[in-house]
Amino acid sequence: MTTRIDTRLADLKAQGRAALVTFLTAGDPDPKLSLEILRALPKAGADMIELGMPFTDPMADGPAIQASSQRALKGGATLAKTLDMVRTFRKDEAATPIILMGYYNPIYIYGVDKFLADAKDAGVDGLIVVDLPPEEDEELCLPALKAGLNFIRLATPTTDDKRLPAVLANTSGFVYYVSITGITGTAKPDANAVAKAVARIKGHTKLPVAVGFGVRTAEDARAIASKADGVVVGSALIDALKGTLDAEGRGNGKTVSAVTSLVSSLAEGVRSARSA
């Protein structure tokens, strides 16, 4: 199985650079602006896009992404509407991979078989579901792989060499290394520690390794991109979006450009990492 994620990462490897993976929450701050941001991300420099599935009780997300989920849910976001957003995006963008990131509860309620069929039909390429451990692979991971979707697993600083093979067993697309011990957006990654961790993971797998949690600036992105195959940015983009909202959480004409300007800056950082 070769997916859009595999193809994109292989192309970037041939170019000698890492991928910029950008995160936004579906429906934040409202359905219309969220779709505008999604459509603008590839042109701004995003190589792959993580689309958060809004959920009331996240376990890995920090305050910024928690608040973005709350704004989206307040605006009526659902899993079905998230899939519709991907379907609309795919009408004029066929190359950029879309990865849905979130938690198992909404998928379980939606129905696993129906979710996988609808996600594939909409144009989703991969899943990150952070609260399903490898011991539960039969629940969603294996059916997703069978449906032709990558199932991307997180490894963390506390995932030791004994645990790592289990984490990697059915992982595909890439490995998402969490650069800090904690929730999203709460600490700055140590590039040297990341380099050691990426090397350790690559000792167990041939999959690319993308690094996220705590990357906020072009300088951060450049430092991580020199060590890893991908750089994931979420909370910083959500904060840029939030900075344009009024007291009621409504966006305006500056909301899309606030996000895309930061993505362009991050993309420059990633692209210059291995030429510096």
Catalytic residues, which ones?
50, 61
> What would the two tokens of residue 59 be?
């376990």
Q: Does the CA dihedral 100-252-88-233 come out positive or negative? A: negative
DSSP state of 210: E
Angstrom distance (rounded) from CA 260 to CA 24: 11
Structure tokens at 181: 């011990």
Give the count of beta carbons closer than 10 Å to the beta carbon of residue 188: 14
Sheet holding 48-52, edge to edge: 150-151, 126-129, 98-102, 48-52, 19-25, 230-233, 209-212, 175-178, 154-155
* Strand ranges for the chain from DSSP E: 19-25, 48-52, 98-102, 126-129, 150-151, 154-155, 175-178, 209-212, 230-233
Number of neighbouring beta carbons within 10 Å of residue 272: 15
Among 2, 159, 23, 33, smallest CA distance to 101 is for: 23
Sign for the CA dihedral angle at 80, 230, 39, 239 comes to positive
155: β partners:
177
Distance CA 233, CA 252 (A): 23
Secondary structure element (H or E) that encloses residue 50, with its range: strand 48-52
- Rounded to whole angstroms, the Cα distance separating 232 from 97 reads 14
